[in-house]
Structures are given as structure tokens and as C-alpha cells.
Amino acid sequence: MNSPTLQSHHTGTNGAETSVQIPKIFEQQKAFHPQIANTTAKERIQKLKQLHKAIEANRDAIYRALNADFRKSEAETDLTEIMQVVGEIRYAIRHLKKWLKPHRVSPTLVALTTRSWIRYEPRGVVLVISPWNYPFNLTLGPVVSAIAAGNCIMVKPSEFTPQTNAVVRKILGEVFPENEIAVIEGDATIATELLKLPFDHIFFTGNPNVGKIVMKAASENLASVTLELGGKSPVIIDESANINDAAKKVVWGKYLNMGQTCVAPDYVLVNSKVFPEFLEKVQHYIAKLYGETEAERKANNSYPRVISQRHHERLVELIRDAVENGATLAAGGQSDAAEKYISPTVLTDVSPDSRVMQEEIFGPVLPILSFDHLEAATATIAKLEKPLALYIFSRNRKNTDYFLNQTTSGGTCINDVALQFSHLNLPFGGVNHSGIGSSHGFFGFKAFSHGRAVLKHFSNTPITLLFPPYTGTVKKLIRLVEKVL
């Protein structure tokens, strides 16, 4: 795929001009930011309302773009792209006045005669680097948070979704001037140019390997980062679970967007007592949701396509490697390179040494493994990096608590999948290899804000009693304060 050339809302540049144009836009935003840094909640809310209006006016164009980029249906576009962004906008509109109010904190003993608060201020000029798998949602979601926090924003979307990028650029251009929000398109060389600039914050969504590159580049300017990464998110199903419900939800969560979802179930660990029933139900729901025959699944408009030939080849190789290492194809396995299609695939008897159990799959391939004891399930999870999500299906409180206490993940969902992503009162983010920082709702606003500590004293504070010279009395006072803190 040819990468789009660098563009802004109103102008485009060729490759030779790139190194000049990007710093120029950055400097324009840096100069403009003081004008919006102290905008009121009312003014920011108005901007968010205008953005919502522009999204609605361009809804048909969004449908066409996502269908062109990887055959996403209108219903799935509404559910996983537009609804998520609109939800962020409405949530910010409802809560922004509260977020911007100074947050009072109680005084401590050494500051009894003071008043203190935290005020959230914009970071400044920020960079949002978004991925291809949900190019509308994962681009505009962070942008909404950055707008609410009062920042200027440079947006670098993925070069693999040019049609969606064009619509995003159009929508933002209808509301914001380029010196407030600019969309910069291009390949990895453009991202490299952007990362050389001294942004005040970088918000990156993508894979851990690129996340390390972003973090290293940010360190050169001591810029703060939010890294929304990924990993192998496991599902644990014990013998007490509602097997029919678990299978239905796992199939939906796994094959949504053809498995190209950061919080998709990556593999399943099922108690051996209910393994046959779960496998049968998974096969049943693949047929029910996507078609009973291969021809029906391939023609199903609710089943998108793999984003690129390279990604398709990688997934085909994962399946081949698993089978060569002893795995059984319990469903699917068919592929069509010309259409970038892979059938909903289920693997059993999977070797832990196969690539499908070592790498994040990020596609419609589901390994299902069995376990006899709870310890065996958590031991399997512990061998891999800390995941972005963990899914537990159980009606046994003791088992659920055990799984929670013996594992670590960015988020956990009990008796459902992926729902935690849409819950705006919860922070969304990973831990270590699966991410740094969090987003959504207030947590997204906070990511793009600096929590400034302010202390005001209105009379002599007791701390003056502890000033030099350090006489015997002062030393005793210091020890006394230490005891009562």
C-alpha cells in the first residue's frame, strides 16, 4: 500500500517539504496554545458539541470510509466506532465543569493553617498517534479528552486506513483551525519526524514494540506518555460458569472486527470438565453469528477483512505453525489472500511452544486449552506478559477471587468480554507490557492534564516553629511532630 503524503486540514505537502511543514505546524500550535489554555468549561463544551454535530453530518461518509478500508459494516461502525466517540463527547460535556473546578484537599498537621487544592491544567501541545484497527474510535476518542483538557493537538493516524483518515481530517477541519488541531498523514518516517518534536504529552495506541520506540523518543524531551498497547488477553472458564453464555460472548468478542481488537480474547483456558460442552457451543455460535457454511461466512457483511496482505500472511503462518506443532483445527482454517479473508478459526491441542501461544494473535484465531486445577490456569497466564484484559467466567465467588488475586491485568471483566472498554467511569489501560497510563472519561481528561498542587497559607504556620537554629527545644518539637504525623 502506498502511504498517503503528509497533509493538514487545508494543505498538503510532498515528501521533500515534510521536514519543514511538521515543525512549522508545531510552532503555530505552540504559539496559539496560550489563547486556549484558560478557556472556560462552557467554551470547551461548545467545541465538543460542534464536533458531535460534524460527526453526525458526516455519518454516511464514515460508513463508506470504514467499509472501503476493511469492509466494516454500518452496524459495527455504529457500535464500535461512532457510538464510542459520541459517548466520550457526551460524557465530557456532562462532567467537564466538575473536572475543571479546583479539587480541595484536607490539610495535614504541618499545614493546619493552610488551604490547598489541585487544579487541572492543559499539558500544552500534544501528539495523538492512533492505530488502524479502530481508526475512527481510537483517533477521536483521545482527541475528545485532549480537547476537554484544553490542549492543541497534532494527530497522526495509521497510513493503512486512508479513507477513514480523510473523513477524520474533514470532520476536525470543519470545527478546528490547524493551529489548534492538525491531522498529519504518512508512514513511519512521518511518525519519526513528529517524535523528534518536544511535545508536552504523547498518547500512543499500538503494539508494545512500537510503544518502546515512542517512549524512548519521548524521553529525549522528558515528555509524559500514555501508551495503550496490547498483549495476550486470556479467558478463564471454570466448571461453575454458564457455558452457553460464555461461549456466545467469547465468540462475539473474539471475531468482532475479525479479531483485530486490542481487548479481544486471545486464548481460552477451560476447565477440563466442561471443555467438550464449551467447544461445542463455540462451534454453534460461530455458525449462528457468521454462517453455517464457509460460503456464508465469507459473504457475511458482518465479518470484516484483515487490514493488509502482510497481516494476513502472518495470521496464516500462525495457523500453519500451530497445526505443525500438533494443534487440531476445530473450526475454520480457510483463507483467501486476494480478499484478505480468514475464516473464524478455533484451535485445540495447542502446544505452549507454538507461536500462537507466544505472540498476540490480533486476528480470528482462537486457541482453546483445558486445565484441571485453578493453579494450572494461573500458571499459564503467569508465563506471559501482563495482559491488557483478563476475562473470568465463573459463578463461584471463591474461584473468581482466586483468579483476581493470582493474576495481574490492565482490566478484568467477570462473566462478559470487552464491556470494560465502554464503561467510562472505569480507567482503561494496561500494565507494563500492555500499557502505561489510562484513558476514557475523567481518566482521559486527566491523562491530557497536569494536576497542579496549590497551597495558600493565611497566617503563620506551625512549621515556623521548626526553623533553625536547631536548639534542644526545636529538636524535641521535630521528634514530637514525627510521632503524631
d(CA 464, CA 12): 61
Do 129 and 249 reside in the same domain of the chain?
no
Strands 114-122 and 449-457, by their bridges, are: antiparallel
Do 207 and 243 reside in the same domain of the chain?
no
Question: What whole-number percentage of the chain has pLDDT above 70?
Answer: 96
Residue 459: the pLDDT is 76
Is residue 3 in a domain? Answer: no
Number of domains the chain contains: 2
Cell numbers representing residue 170 in the block = 474533514
Cell numbers representing residue 414 in the block = 467477570
Do 145 and 248 reside in the same domain of the chain?
no
Do 324 and 443 reside in the same domain of the chain?
no
Residue 325: the pLDDT is 96
Instruction: Give the tens place of pLDDT for each residue, 26-70.
Output: 999 999 999 999 999 999 999 999 999 999 999 999 999 999 999
State the DSSP string of 438-469: -BSHHHHHHHTEEEEEEEEE-S--GGGGGPSS
Q: Report whether 21 contacts 13 (CB < 8 A).
A: yes
Check if 152 is active-site: no
Check if 413 is active-site: no
Do 103 and 153 reside in the same domain of the chain?
yes
Do 160 and 85 reside in the same domain of the chain?
yes
Residue 458: the pLDDT is 81
Is residue 471 in a domain? Answer: no
Which residues span the domain enclosing 294? 234-429
pLDDT at 10 over 80: no
Residues β-bridged to residue 227:
204, 436
Is residue 54 in a domain? Answer: yes
DSSP secondary structure code for residue 144 in this structure: H
3-state secondary structure of 460: coil
Average pLDDT over residues 187-208: 96
Do 48 and 138 reside in the same domain of the chain?
yes
Interacting residues of 310 by C-beta distance below 8 A, sequence separation 6+? none
Closest C-alpha to 409, from 393, 424, 391: 391
d(CA 286, CA 330): 11
Cell numbers representing residue 76 in the block = 459495527
Q: Report whether 434 contacts 386 (CB < 8 A).
A: yes
Instruction: Give the tens place of pLDDT for each residue, 300-345.
Output: 999 999 999 999 999 999 999 999 999 999 999 999 999 999 999 9
Residues β-bridged to residue 201:
126, 224
For the entire predicted model, the pTM comes to 0.94
Interacting residues of 248 by C-beta distance below 8 A, sequence separation 6+? 281, 285
- Catalytic annotation, pick one of 193, 262, 360, 413: 262
Q: Which sign, positive or negative, has the C-alpha torsion 282, 286, 292, 295?
A: negative
Q: How confident is the model at residue 18 (pLDDT cuts 50, 70, 90)?
A: low
Residue linked to cell 464500535? 80
Cell numbers representing residue 445 in the block = 481528561
Is residue 126 in a domain? Answer: yes
Do 239 and 282 reside in the same domain of the chain?
yes
Residue 19: the pLDDT is 66
Do 166 and 282 reside in the same domain of the chain?
no
Interacting residues of 433 by C-beta distance below 8 A, sequence separation 6+? 208, 229, 231, 385, 386
3-state secondary structure of 212: helix
Do 76 and 173 reside in the same domain of the chain?
yes
Is residue 475 in a domain? Answer: no
pLDDT at 132 over 50: yes
Do 223 and 286 reside in the same domain of the chain?
no
Is residue 4 in a domain? Answer: no
CA-based end-to-end distance of the chain = 63
d(CA 210, CA 227): 10
CA distances from 321 to 260, 330, 352, 409 (A): 20, 15, 12, 27
pLDDT at 224 over 80: yes
Instruction: Give the tens place of pLDDT for each residue, 409-430.
Output: 999 999 999 999 999 999 999 9
List the CATH number of the domain containing 369: 3.40.309.10
Is residue 10 in a domain? Answer: no
d(CA 249, CA 300): 19
Residue 17: the pLDDT is 46
- Catalytic annotation, pick one of 81, 185, 193, 228: 228
Do 442 and 392 reside in the same domain of the chain?
no
Cell numbers representing residue 249 in the block = 460472548
List the CATH number of the domain containing 216: 3.40.605.10
